[in-house]
Amino acid sequence: MQRLLPKQIKRAVKNFRVQGDFLAASPYGSGHINDTLLAKCHLPDGSESPLILQRINTDIFTDPVGLMENIAAVTEYLQAKIIAEGGDPNRETLRVIRTFDGYPCYRDPDNNWWRLYTYIGDSYTLDKVENPWDFYESGVGFGSFQRRLADFPADTLHEVIPGFHDTVNRFHQFEKAVGADPVGRAATVRQEINFFRQYKHLCHVFPDLQRTGDLPLRVTHNDTKSNNVLLDKKTGKAIAVIDLDTVMPGLAMNDFGDSIRFGASTAREDEIDLSKVSCSLELFTAFTKGFLAGLQGHLTDLEIEMLPQGALIMTYECGMRFLTDYISGDNYFQIQRANHNLDRARTQIKLVRDMERKLPIMQQIVSQTSHN
Ligand code: ADP
Ligand code: GN1
Ligand code: MG
């Protein structure tokens, strides 16, 4: 994606139905995929109105129209649910601001695709979870999100990234990258490559259960990092789940698992000192409680039993994706330093090993929590 120019940002904002005049915009948050900006408009009464402006990464989301149809439909559906539950539809879900032509996104003459959301204020997100209370709330947020979408017509959703959590296919892509070795890095990461080959069996756990019809497809978020749920600055409670790009039919265990992968780690996703990286059982317990509370009984016994496997599989898959990107020359995930994707892959490897050891305890925690 090309660098953004101030005039492109200004032109983008002007195409959406916003009040006031565009003032300024600056980079915001720490996502790996889209360009996120906090934009400010000057209102007639002299105040400033904040907005979240994003340039969609169209290298990754090649059908931005389908993507935004998904997000508009899901957010409108959630608004109705939230109203029915007596909540605040302006705060508890993202709100898409449309263009003057009525579209949920704007394509500029330079072929950049833009979207604009209302800014949900007095909130924070977690790039690193520091305490069990926050992570419990994160679980409530993602659990409630899945519950509220339980009856959403899944077949109307575009599959924006086909096979997003198809771990078997991710493994094939990984082997393809190793074989092609376009930037000559494969020889330097033999140990890491061997790790993903050695744990290949993890790819098949869920597909095998799906074949027998034992695991239902649900409408899931698919990218449940703790920086994709907003928490309330005053109360600490979960407000809204954001980053809805990958809302698609998926497995409940994968949403659970990706949260654990990111949030239950005792270190950041890109920590270099691997001695700091492990899976905290205290944080695991907190998230499990929150997630099941948010879901209010919407999972089957088998789904609940398989939640810890979801943590292992999502961590394995994500680590393999980081290593694939490193070997391919860092084309997918945004990087801020040399070897960034390799560092990320290494933390995930460390976590898989640790989670594998802790699996029996995790299973016990999940079983106890679900029976309380
Ligand atoms: P990416 O897909 O690149 O991860 P996100 O949609 O997650 O981008 O946005 C990046 C960050 O911007 C989030 O982690 C969050 O901190 C912030 N953010 C996004 N949307 C909103 C919003 N509507 N209100 C407040 N903060 C937001
Ligand atoms: C990306 O967009 P962001 O930063 O929330 C990625 C996820 C990965 C994650 C790893 C569309 O998420 O799948 O798990 O990075 N999103 C996409 O941090 O590929
Ligand atoms: Mg994000």
DSSP line for 242-258: --GGG-EEE-HHHHHHH
Point out which residues pair with 199 in neighbouring strands.
none
CB 221 within 8 A of CB 138: no
Does residue 201 sit in the same domain as residue 304?
yes
Burial of 213 (0-12, 13-18, 19+ CB in 10 A): exposed
Structure tokens at 160: 């924006």
Does residue 141 sit in the same domain as residue 196?
yes
Could you tell which of 1, 28, 30, 32 is best to mutate to test the pocket of ligand 2, judged by most ligand atoms within 8 Å of the CB? 32
Residue 114 has a pLDDT of: 98
Residue 83 has a pLDDT of: 98
Could you tell which of 115, 164, 223, 333 is best to mutate to test the pocket of ligand 2, judged by most ligand atoms within 8 Å of the CB? 223
| Separation CA 228–CA 206 (nearest Å) | 25
Q: 160 is in which domain, residue-wise?
A: 132-370
| Separation CA 12–CA 112 (nearest Å) | 9
Residues whose CB is less than 8 angstroms from the CB of residue 32 and which lie 6 or more positions away in sequence, other chains included: 333, 334
CB 135 within 8 A of CB 115: no
Please give the backbone phi and psi of residue 247, each rounded to the nearest 5 degrees, phi first.
-65, 115
Residues whose CB is less than 8 angstroms from the CB of residue 17 and which lie 6 or more positions away in sequence, other chains included: 97, 98, 99, 100
Would 1 be classed as within a structural domain? no
What residue's CA is closest to ligand 1, atom 1? 31
Structure tokens at 74: 């899901």
Q: Are strands 248-250 and 218-220 parallel, antiparallel or unpaired?
A: antiparallel
- Indicate if ligand 1 lies below 6 Å from the C-beta of 126: no
- Indicate if ligand 1 lies below 6 Å from the C-beta of 52: yes
Does residue 115 sit in the same domain as residue 179?
no
Q: Would the pTM of this model clear 0.85, i.e. be above it?
A: yes
Does residue 216 sit in the same domain as residue 364?
yes
Residue 63 has a pLDDT of: 97
Would 250 be classed as within a structural domain? yes
What residue's CA is closest to ligand 2, atom 5? 31
| Gap from CA of 227 to ligand 3 centroid (Å) | 6
Consecutive 10-residue averages of pLDDT for the chain (372 residues): 87 94 93 94 91 96 97 98 97 97 97 97 96 98 97 94 97 98 98 98 96 92 97 98 97 98 98 98 98 96 97 98 98 96 98 98 98 88
Structural domain total, the chain: 2
- Indicate if ligand 1 lies below 6 Å from the C-beta of 67: no
Residue 11 has a pLDDT of: 96
CATH number at residue 14: 3.30.200.20
Does residue 107 sit in the same domain as residue 215?
no
The greatest distance separating any two alpha carbons of the chain, rounded to the nearest whole angstrom, comes to 63
Q: Which residues line the pocket of ligand 2, CB cutoff 6 A?
A: 31-33, 60, 223, 225, 228, 243, 245-246, 269, 318
CATH number at residue 214: 3.90.1200.10
Question: What do you get for the CA distance between the two ends of the chain, in Å?
Answer: 49
Residue 352 CB neighbours (<10 A): 25
